[in-house]
Structure 1
Amino acid sequence: MTTSDLFIDGRFVPAATGRTFTTIDPSTGDPIADVAHAGPHDVAAAVSAARAALDGPWSRMPAAERGRLITRLADLVEANADELAELESLDGGKPIRNTRAMDVPAAAAQFRYFGGWPTKIEGETIPVAVPDTLCYTRKEPVGVCAQIIPWNFPLLMAAWKLGPALAAGCTVVVKPAEQTPLTTLRLAGLIAEAGFPAGTVNMLTGDGGTGAALADHPGVDKIAFTGSTAVGREIGAKAGARLTRVTLELGGKSPNIILPDADLDAAIAGSYQGVYFNSGQACNAASRLYAHRSVFDQVIEGLLVRIKEARVGQALDPSTELGPLVSAGQYQRVRGYIRDGIAEGARLRAGEVPGEPDGGFFVQPTLFTDVAPDMRIHREEIFGPVLVATPFDTVDEVVRQANGSEYGLAAGVWTRNLGDAHTLAARLSAGSIYLNTWAPGDPAAPFGGIRASGIGREMGRAGLDAYLEPKTVWTNLTSR
């Protein structure tokens, strides 16, 4: 096995303590590499390097040059697409067909989009009522940003966070999830190759203790976190106590509604992909299905046909549709929910209770019906290939059910009636509404949730603004 180091101040270095951890191939359960485990000393060194870059070469760089470097990084991601796709699949269990077609191209697209922003960040001249006064605003970088990345889309989420932060002129310390550090570290190499000044981007690998030390560091001006709601609440509390700016993109239990007039073939296909894509390991997975009673049985039968045909297998097999879950811990978590669903009386229509893992962490696509609203499988985020399906009779009823959750990340509606579609888009409480589709994306479109699904937005202008601090300048024009 090889050992992968931290990336601090433009160099790859071992952890100060020499401590490492092992990253595992979830398709086989075998070790891939030993990775440096950052501790408090490494966190301090990375934050110090980011501060020096912020006060030095990065802040003095013209906006056009900053944009050129970000665009150069997009070029390098594309040039190394095959390697990045294989690393992402090997380390996280994501099917290679998906990492090649979606994860890597989407990451490059993020950098390319935000590479166009630095020359377009403008202040405003404000026509104030005070006589003989010039009042204008400047938009300045927030400062040193801690960015904590999840394991389900490690390369793409790194791009989501790095792109706007760098475009705004911030410097960053990135902490990837301990389950999936490899593509983030390879991205660090590409950042160095692109020519970013040392310290502009730093990468710290480690566990939750590393992330906590980073979030606690007084030299951090903003925290951006994607992950579980439980950890997000802890980070939000810390940020609130220190009055540190924070963006939180958290969990979901997203409702997906099929009205009786929907194109059922499209609705079934979209609902299947909406929940089982990435083996259900997506914060905006369509994990609560509500189909009108008149079409409910037809929808379930259509889903069962697709589930039966699903190819579950090793991530590097090009024919694999659903890969393994990311870790033994996640496997046990999902297995526990399936057991609970059966024990609480839900009807298991597809899938089975997984046994002890034999090599990889594979869970078959699972479907429950006869689900009561108070069941854990209906209320809580499972983050696995598990769908709960419920019939409804009226629109008012399904709106109450859909909104009756602590989460509010996404919601979907399938109907041929545009009036019904847009009326429901207004009534559903979520950060993203998908009409006759599920989870399309674009770097220009904001993404985020409400309530327990998070604070703030990523991507688009809203994502950029999260890394900018407006400064108001007042000038008395009569002073000599």
Structure 2
Amino acid sequence: MDEQQTIAGTHQFRLIEMETRAVTTTFSRPQHLNVPADLLDRPKAVFVNGRWQVGRAAAPMISIDPSTAKAFSSFLPASPDQVGEATEAAERAFADWRRTSGGERSRFLSAIAAGLRDRKADLVALQMLNNGKPRYEAEIDVDDAAATFDYYAGVAKDLDAEQGRSVALGDDTLAGATHFEPLGPVGLIVAWNFPMVTTAWKLAPALAAGCTAVIKPSEFTTLAELVYADLAGQIGLPAGVLNIIPGGGEIGAALCADRRIRKISFTGSNATGSRVMAAAASRIVPVSLELGGKSPIIILEDADIAQAVEIAAAGIFFNCGQMCSATSRLLVAEGIAEDFTTALLGKADQLIVAGHEDPGAQIGPLTTPEQFAKVKAVLEKARADGLDCIAGGSAVPGRQGFFIEPSIYRNVPTDHPLWREEIFGPVLAIRSFTSTDEAVALANDTDFGLAATVVGTDGDAAAAVARNLDAGHVWVNTSQMIFPNTAWGGFKASGIGRELGPWGLSAYRGVKHITRAA
């Protein structure tokens, strides 16, 4: 999902430092967004044991507005020794937090949800500034984060009733009972493409289960995540239950290596995910990994073309294609391929690509300069390789900021990187098929297995196709709606485990069985 999140100091983090060396301390803050100063000016940006601290890293981090490529804020991130302070605080707090009732934890989760909604207007503006999201996308993000806390608040109410359920053992002299225990202090490493949302997907079930948490936000979108610490203080969450340690790769590495962390949950790139897994393996602690995707969308021959175009466009152009679930490989039945492609081109041509200065923006910029450079390189390679580009194919000309044209390529070879590798941008590859079996085979011919979409007028037939796809979540005749009570995660290289729903809760609990004399 996140091509920038790093565990060790790597090229990505060095590049962002290099990009910002020339930035002065004079920040450019667009007045029309009206982001409150307390969300932008963070002289203390590290939250440990219920208190704000000044970060002790050697150099500040610079926040960049992707719509203008200008700096709008800076803060001092954590140092590795502050990671140890955070994990120590989480370990101390766990002793009491694990013993709180499900009802008590539910009240805290509900209060966080309410706090997000109370600050929605400010958080939407911050998302637009820091991520480059159009307003409607930023609004969805805040609502989704709040809904996740609401869902797990409801789940937490029922947890106490699950404890001590009897288990028939087949021996009248013995009695059995099952209990569920929180794993302990957990390390949560989150991505930059959906800040607050991916954090909610981890933090809400962790707190509901009775775990304490240390969050390492992305170095690119830290400011929105710090609001969770603001809310923790506002609602009286016990000190040490939530800790936030901003920083780059060295902070993630220190968190993964800390012996007090008993579970690691990571959302990000496959390259970094493998390093997280290796770090967890060295200590034999469980991991959840939500990684990359190269998701297919299948347009069946009986599909309503207008509906299919809307679903396909949303699947690749929402969030400027910066989604692990982006349906970036499109398979369309040969009989309707020409009509569908013509209609899709018309849709792409109508989309408004703009920054936060345009209230009608439908696609914003890419979020980071690194991702902008990466996607431009992909488009340049496609051009050099002679791929059939039928829309876009370059950065938006004459604009500051990190804007890429909605780009569509036709008849992309199945062995080309454009077809096989995650791009994380508004870039779509199209091929046609002659049979449903061929479509399924092409869809499943990938290293990933996160998500997929099927579109066809016969909903039962489309659902039958969906059941044959190697994907953790498949949408049939609908855009990518994700609800807190559904499962999220994938097969193959798309990760390990599931988030959301009861599966997300179980990721932070262990099973204890007690057998005793009757």
Fold similarity call, TM over 0.5 = yes
For 1:67, the equivalent position in structure 2 comes to: 106
Q: Indicate which of 407, 415, 431 corresponds to 2:472.
A: 431
* CA deviation vs aligned residue, 1:55-88 (integer Å, no higher than 9, x gap): 13x2332221110011011111101100111111
**Most deviating of 308-317 and 156-165:** 308-317
Out of 181, 192, 205, the position equivalent to 2:246 is 205
1:446 and 2:506 correspond: no
Structure 1 partner of 2:21: none
Identity, % of aligned pairs? 37
Is 1:243–2:284 an aligned residue pair? Answer: yes
Deviation at 1:143, TM superposition (A): 0.7
Higher mean C-alpha deviation, range 468-477 or range 234-243? 234-243
Residues 189-234 of structure 1, C-alpha deviation per residue, up to 9 Å, x if partnerless?
A: 0121111101101111111221121111111100001111111111
Match of 1:27 among 62, 67, 73: 67
**Residue from 341, 360, 370 that aligns with 2:401:** 360
Distance, in Å, in 2 between the alignment partners of 1:172 and 1:239 is 16
Amino acid aligned to 2:142: V
**Does 2:150 align with 1:112?**
yes
Query: Equivalents in 1 of 2:424, 2:362: separation in Å?
Result: 17
Structure 2 match to 1:397: 438
Unaligned runs of 5+ in 1: none
* Paired letter, 2:66: P
Distance across 2 between alignment mates of 1:208 and 1:306: 40
3-state DSSP of counterpart to 2:292: coil
Aligned-partner Cα distance in 1 for 2:402–2:196 = 21
Equivalent-residue separation in structure 1 for 2:119 and 2:134 (angstroms):
18
Query: Is the 8 Å Cα contact of residues 355 and 364 (structure 2) preserved in structure 1?
Result: yes
Select the residue among 365, 372, 384 that pairs with 2:425. 384
Match of 2:315 in 1: 274
Aligned residue number for residue 465 of structure 1: 506
TM-fit CA distance, 1:3: 3.5
3-state SS, counterpart of residue 116 of structure 1: helix
The answer as to 2:356 corresponding to 1:315 is yes
| Alpha-carbon distance in structure 1 between the residues aligned to 2:199 and 2:398 | 30
The equivalences for 1:68-467 within 5 A come to: 68-100=107-139, 102-121=140-159, 122-123=162-163, 124-315=165-356, 317-354=358-395, 359-467=400-508
5+ long unaligned stretches in structure 2:
1-26, 28-40
Contact 1:88 / 1:182 at 8 angstroms: preserved in 2? no
- The CA RMSD measured in Å over matched residues stands at 1.4
Flag the 1:357–1:216 CA change in 2: closer, same or farther, 3 A: farther
CA drift at 1:370: 2.1
Q: Secondary structure at the match of 1:136?
A: strand
CA contact (8 A) 1:173 1:204 kept: yes
Equivalent residue letter for 1:6: V
Offset, 1:257: 0.3
Aligned residues: 475
C-alpha displacement at 1:399, in angstroms?
1.0
Q: Given that residues 56 and 76 in structure 2 are in contact (C-alpha distance below 8 angstroms), is that contact kept between their aligned partners in structure 1?
A: no
The 10-residue stretch of structure 1 (415-424 or 102-111) with the greater mean CA deviation from structure 2: 415-424
**Counterparts of 2:265 and 2:514, CA distance in 1:** 28
**Structure 2 CA distance for aligned equivalents of residues 395 and 375 of structure 1:** 23
- Separation in 2 of the partners of 1:77 and 1:86? 13
Q: CA deviation at 1:316?
A: 5.2
Poorly superposed stretches of 4+, deviation over 6 Å: none
Q: Tell me, yes or no, if the aligned pair for 2:459 and 2:477 is still in contact at 8 Å.
A: no
- Distance between the aligned counterparts of 2:85 and 2:397, measured in 1? 42
1:95–1:388 CA distance, 2 compared to 1 (3 A) = same
After TM superposition, give the deviation of residue 441 of structure 1 in Å: 1.1
Aligned partners of 2:397 and 2:222: how far apart in 1? 26
Residues 90, 316 of structure 1: 8 Å contact kept: no
Inter-partner Cα distance in structure 2 for 1:372 and 1:342? 14
**Secondary structure of the structure 2 residue equivalent to 1:334:** helix
One-letter identity of the residue aligned with 1:71 = S
Q: Distance in 1 between matches of 2:206 and 2:356?
A: 31
SS in 2 for 1:117: helix
Normalised by the length of structure 2, the TM-score is 0.89
Alpha-carbon separation, structure 1, partners of 2:240 and 2:222: 19
Task: Give the counterpart of 1:14 among 54, 57, 63.
Answer: 54
Aligned-partner residue type, residue 103 of structure 1: D
Q: Does the CA contact (< 8 Å) of 2:396 and 2:403 recur in 1?
A: no
SS, match of residue 37 in structure 1:
coil
Question: Shift of residue 467 of structure 1?
Answer: 0.6
Distance in 1 (alpha carbons) for counterparts of 2:200 and 2:406: 29
Instruction: Give SS of 2:373's match.
Output: helix
How far is 1:421 from its partner? Answer: 1.6
- Amino acid in structure 2 at the alignment position of 1:33: S
Q: 1:52 maps to what in 2?
A: 92
Residue 294 of structure 2 aligns to a residue in which SS?
coil
Distance in 1 of aligned mates of 2:138 and 2:459: 34
**Does the 8 Å contact 1:28/1:359 carry over to 2?**
yes
Letter in 1 for 2:203: L
Distance in 2, matches of 1:372 and 1:402, equals 13
The answer on whether the counterparts of 2:451 and 2:471 sit within 8 Å (CA) in structure 1 is yes
Cα contact 1:248–1:454 (8 A) shared by 2: yes
CA distance in 2 between counterparts of 1:314 and 1:248 reads 32
Deviation at 1:298, TM superposition (A): 1.1
Deviates more, 1:204-213 or 1:46-55: 204-213
In structure 2, C-alpha distance between the alignment counterparts of 1:417 and 1:118, rounded to whole Å? 39
